[in-house]
Structure 1
Amino acid sequence: MTSNDVDMADLIARLPRRVHEVYAPFAETSPDLPAFVEAGRVWTYRHFSDAVDAAAKDLADLAIRPGDRVMVVSENSVALGAMLFAASTLDAWAIPVNPRLSARELDLIATHSGARRALFNAALSKDAADHASRTSASLRAVGPFGGIGVGALHEAAKVEPVEALSERQVAALMYTSGTTGAPKGVMLSHRNLLVAAKVSGNLRRTAPGDRIYGVLPMSHIVGYSILLISTLMHGAALHVVSKADPAALARALAEEGITTLYGVPATYQRLLEYKAVNGIAQLSRGNLRLMCVAGAPLDLELKRRMEEEFGVSLLNGYGITECSPGLAGVREENPAADETVGPFLPGIDHRIVDRDGRQVGIGEVGELHVRGANIMLGYYRAPDLTAAAIDRDGWFNTGDLGRMNEREQLYIVGRTKEMIIRSGFNVYPAEIEAVLNTHHDVVQSAVVGRPVDGNEEVVAYVQLLPGARVDAEALKSYAASQLTAYKRPTELIVLDALPAASTGKILKHKLRELALAGTADMAATG
């Protein structure tokens, strides 16, 4: 099936050739329009365009060549945005990297990518400064940005071919997180990113005068594609935030004219937790007109509370790194009352299939496969992984389980690998999490499966509000009253905080490790 909300051929034909060209029209016709707000300072489109040009000159002087890979290790900042676009002007591949990664993780990316150089925004964060020091990077300015650690030149780095066509030239190499194996570098072309950014901005009606709150990291796909590229493509301003802070978010909404907020469920959970802990009667909405959420299952209690707080619909969406990222989203003009991620975005072909590859019917759960101009070129230096993910007809296997309703709205049920098979029944963690999250003392929860005696059991991890008195047994009883027997958690564990990536996305592989360790402990003591 295909979504044809717009003429995709015409949309693609009107796109620029490279991602760094998106802000050029505004730099020329509206140079004094604000492009960024960072720590109280406004960067106009002219200022930013000049900064990118200066950074590109310095990168060339640092021997960055067309076809090279260049790592930029930084928290969200104007400097990060400028260096990513500077790489584009040189036809180098940008690799945005979160400085909160460990030394092992960062070194794996550097080795796998064959990066020509690594740049560290040491002036902005201790994490980046520590990485710069560890790698003996020398501090200097890159463009107008001081305190940038410049790593040693990788003399043996080989350039990749430069392609004139935007659909064939790699713009960004995004390394996926959340696995314990070797890093996977997702090759996203200029067209991949431009299509995703344009469709997103059009659907959200982004325009000059909008101020987007940029808390999701640009080192991850939503921050890079939807916040950075799409904002500048549509003439809006990005309010750059280096680290998530619910108090700062509340102030920005009240005082700084934020019109659009993108977050993961944890963004909104922490905002409501901040309100409760500080005894705030009502958070100020300010100029907020749009709230969007993606990246993890959305529970309806959180949705209800946020919409009640601000009088704005919380629009759920769905995407993954390999798809640049957007695949589906609830439309502003047609908000949803449930947890649907909405209809598919324009230009997305989709099919939902069973284990034998046959399409399932309306309401039936299957594995989601998609196809479109936003689908990655493949995994870098991993042709076997690419062939396993994208078939010869261009269909990409998302690895997610979904179902469609009769109104062509998509529901994500869970990951194929996360589905728990208990006594022959399929158990979807998202359903159990949704029940646990409705408890008034629960901040967030995560459910994983654990193998036991030829079967699987359900293990739930829960984070509570500070001062909450409910215990694990009471929460198990609460869940049992709303779930059939095979869906009920065998074990429920309360943690001070659930392990999470910098986006707020819960790292379920860490919880699986904990659950398996628990099995080993029980075996050892039993």
Structure 2
Amino acid sequence: MSENATPAILTGQPLEKLDHYASVMEIFHASVARFGGKPAFSCMGRVMSYTELDRLSGHFAAWLQQETSLQPGDRIAIQLPNLLQFPVAVFGALRAGMVVVNTNPLYTEREMANQFRDAGVRAIVILANMADKLERILERTDIRHVVVTELGDLHPFPKRQVINAVVKHVKKLVPPFSLPEATGFRRALSTGAAQSHREVSQGPDDIAALQYTGGTTGQAKGAMLTHRNLVANMLQARQAIGPALTEGAETIIAPLPVYHIYTFTVNCLFMMETGNHSVLIPNPRDLDAFVKTLARVPFTGFIGLNTLFNALCSREDFRRLDFSRLHLTISGGMALTRASAKRWEEVTGCQVAEGYGLTETSPIVSFNPVDAIQLGTIGIPVAGTEVKVVDADGLDAPYDTVGELYVRGPQVMKGYWCHDDETAMVIDEQGWFRTGDIAVIQPDGYIRIVDRKKDMILVSGFNVYPNEIEDVVATHPGVVESAVVGVPDAVSGEAIKLFVVSRDERLDTETLRAWCRKGLAGYKVPRFVEFRDELPKTNVGKVLRRQLRDEEIEKSR
């Protein structure tokens, strides 16, 4: 059999030290011991060292253990943007033996309630800016303990009061709310400081986080990421990215949301493991403030995605920055275009290394070696990881053959929380995870993604699933049926377009978009709406989204 006919099953290099650590917290304590006084995280000019992170997370762990009814294994939602409170709350919760449920701060009440009920969340740490939403859904959840924090809570006096006053009274970003049983984040820390906490013994198979994803069906499910999954991916990142870093010496910009698995693993975990400093950007959409932060920070690394690279490179103030220290730029979350990568390199002098991953794989599956980047590919498998392509007949495919990408390795999730049937659909008896992405393995071992999950839409790096939007639209009394597809967009990669068959002639675009805003995060609201007399369907009546999508692609050419 010729090489081209041989099934292409790639295996990354051996993964080192996986059995050295039983849990994320073992790595945390090792990093604190090694890097104590060095900066771990900073935000809005406030720097937190590893020693301080250890102390404050210990205080929060003590509060959870001594002042609440929570037990190890209970789920605690962390609904925060990129603030110093995030790593304090996450590591405090893990030290108390809890399961972290990362929650998008942009969620609507409906989305929050669905996730909290599904996960059986018993406690939450939430930013005051969205506490009014929690108030309205609290009785529909099992949440018994609420911790509310304000934007400036971990800044020193008087800056703390100034930040919180401006946010609340000048910018009016904190809607009124009433949660009389809630505890302020600062109070929880001060109460915990007067008490002791006990480190909870955790094993590799214990769940560390429930990371919600639409999976391959669009129905939100919690990927059970164990301590072994996250430890493995930290160590895999070390072997893939580590050669480009100097331990304890890097300053890495973290503009993408840390509740997302990409930044959660790379910045909150991997950069912590290597003793480096992550600069948390609370609102990267405020490009004026973002660039001013970059001008003040001598950054050596940047974690971003295609749309952000484009937006920054279009700004004159960004192009004037000093990039002399920048030697690592990582792209993930959405496809990196050659044009964006080349423009970033022209502006900054730094190449972009693209990686690939999924929520269900903690997330990193493959990465471009920083000294051998191939634009247009997602690199090679990280250590301890096997990948293959399976063709339409279910057979392992040879090199240069299009098929579905399968992954096997220690970073593959334990399964979907309370959805054994969904787990069985994506993980086979041999442990292979079906990504749903269509790929090609090149003879040189690099992987190319040639298509995405069948119906998923990628808006500025956020996964959007048509089923969810269509479910909300279907509740409008004037809608007969609808279909949602992604259409090409130069800014966000894709934009959402809604096709509607209506029974009400007065129904218009803005009415439907307003309806969607009531139940969907802003990035899920359709940008375009087209009314039709009927939608294309299969013989059995299933709407042909692909036909609609192909029509839109053809129009854009």
| TM bracket, shorter-chain basis | 0.7 to 0.9
Compared CA separation, residues 177 and 121, structure 1 to 2 (3 A): farther
| Ranges in structure 2 where 5+ consecutive residues have no aligned partner | 1-8, 139-144, 155-159, 165-176, 183-199, 467-482, 493-520, 537-557
1:283 and 1:309 in contact (8 A); partners too: no
Counterparts of 2:417 and 2:237, CA distance in 1: 26
Q: Is the aligned partner of 1:261 residue 2:261?
A: no
**1:27 alignment partner in structure 2:** 32
Match of 1:462 among 489, 500, 510: 489
Cα distance, 1:22 vs structure 2: 2.4
Contact 1:171 1:189 in 2 (8 A): yes
- Aligned mates of 2:484, 2:52 — CA distance in 1: 57
Aligned to 1:45: 50
For 2:133, the equivalent position in structure 1 comes to 131
Does structure 2 conserve the Cα–Cα contact (< 8 Å) formed by 1:187 and 1:379? Answer: yes
Task: Give per-residue Cα distances to partners, 1:376-413, cap 9 Å, x unaligned.
Answer: 00000000000001011101000000001121100011
Counterparts of 1:172 and 1:150, CA distance in 2: 26
CA offset at residue 330 of structure 1?
0.7
In 2, Cα distance between the equivalents of 1:458 and 1:380? 28
Q: 1:414 to 1:150 in 2, by over 3 A?
A: farther
Structure 1 residues 519 and 399, CA gap change in structure 2 (3 angstroms): farther
Residue in structure 1 matched with residue 271 of structure 2 by the alignment: 231
196, 209, 230: which is aligned to 2:249? 209
Q: How big is the alpha-carbon RMSD for the aligned residues of Structure 1 and Structure 2?
A: 3.7
Q: What is the 5 A alignment of 1:382-421?
A: 382-418=419-455
- Alignment partner, residue 477 of structure 2: none
Displacement after TM superposition at 1:97 (Å): 0.8
Counterpart pick for 2:345 among 288, 304, 307: 307
1:316 corresponds, among 338, 354, 358, to 354
Counterpart for residue 554 of structure 2: none
Specify which of 47, 56, 59 is matched with residue 54 of structure 1.
Answer: 59
Code of the aligned partner of 1:273: S
The structural deviation recorded for 1:91 is 1.7
User: What percent identity do the matched residue pairs reach?
Assistant: 25
Contact 1:117 1:152 in 2 (8 A): no
Q: Distance in 2 between matches of 1:459 and 1:289?
A: 34
Question: Kindly tell me: are residues 385 and 139 of structure 1, through their superposed partners in 2, closer, same or farther at Cα, counting changes over 3 Å?
Answer: closer
Q: Which moved more, 1:58-67 or 1:389-398?
A: 58-67
1:102 corresponds in structure 2 to 108
Structure 1's 232 and 149: CA in aligned 2 closer, same or farther, altered over 3 A? farther
Residue aligning to 1:360: 397
Superposition map of 1:70-469 within 5 A:
70-122=76-128, 126=129, 128-135=130-137, 166-176=203-213, 181-205=218-242, 206=245, 207-244=247-284, 245-275=286-316, 282-336=320-374, 338-418=375-455, 460-463=487-490
Separation (CA, whole Å) in 1 of partners of 2:30 and 2:429: 38
Question: Are 1:371 and 1:394, in contact at CA under 8 Å, matched by a contact in 2?
Answer: yes
Q: 1:43 to 1:406 in 2, by over 3 A?
A: same
Shift of 1:79: 1.0
Q: Distance in 1 between matches of 2:358 and 2:30?
A: 29
Q: Distance in 1 between matches of 2:525 and 2:137?
A: 28
d(CA) in 2 for partners of 1:141, 1:322: 30
3-state SS of paired residue (1:243): coil
Per-residue deviation, 1:166: 3.4
CA distance 1:180–1:407, shift in 2 (3 Å): closer
Give 3-state SS (helix, strand or coil) of 2:224's partner. Answer: strand
- The question of whether the paired residues in 2 share the 8 Å contact of 1:260 and 1:289 is answered with yes
Q: CA offsets, 1:279-327, max 9 Å, x none?
A: x764431421111111112211111111111111111110000000001
Contact 1:298 1:316 in 2 (8 A): yes
What is the identity, as a one-letter code, of the residue corresponding to 1:302?
A: S
Deviation sequence 1:56-111 (CA, Å, 0-9, x none): 11112222211111111111122111111112112211101121111100000111
* CA 1:520–1:17: 2 relative to 1, 3 Å: farther
Matches of 2:533 and 2:180, distance apart in 1: 43
Change (3 A) 1:510 1:360: farther
Deviations 1:338-382 (A, max 9, x none): 311111111111110112211222211100011000000000000
Give the deviation of 1:132 after TM superposition: 4.2
Q: Would the aligned equivalents of 1:192 and 1:324 in 2 still touch at CA under 8 Å?
A: yes
Superposed displacement of residue 2, structure 1: 3.9
> What corresponds to 1:452 in structure 2?
none
Distance 1:20 1:234, change over 3 A: same
- CA shift in 2, pair 1:168/1:57, >3 Å: same
Per-residue CA distance 1:436-476 (angstroms, 9 max, x = gap): xxxxxxx99x9999xxxxxx9997443469xxxxxxxxxxx
Q: Does 1:3 align with 2:41?
A: no
What is the TM-score normalised by the length of structure 2? Answer: 0.70
1:357/1:134 CA distance change after superposition, 3 Å? same
Deviation at 1:139, TM superposition (A): 6.0
Over 3 Å counting, the alpha-carbon distance change for 1:227 and 1:139 in structure 2 is closer
2:474 aligns with: none
Larger relative contact order (Cα-Cα within 8 Å, sequence gap ≥ 6): 2
Q: 1:91 to 1:283 in 2, by over 3 A?
A: same
Q: Pick closer, same or farther for the CA change 1:262–1:506 going to 2, 3 Å.
A: farther
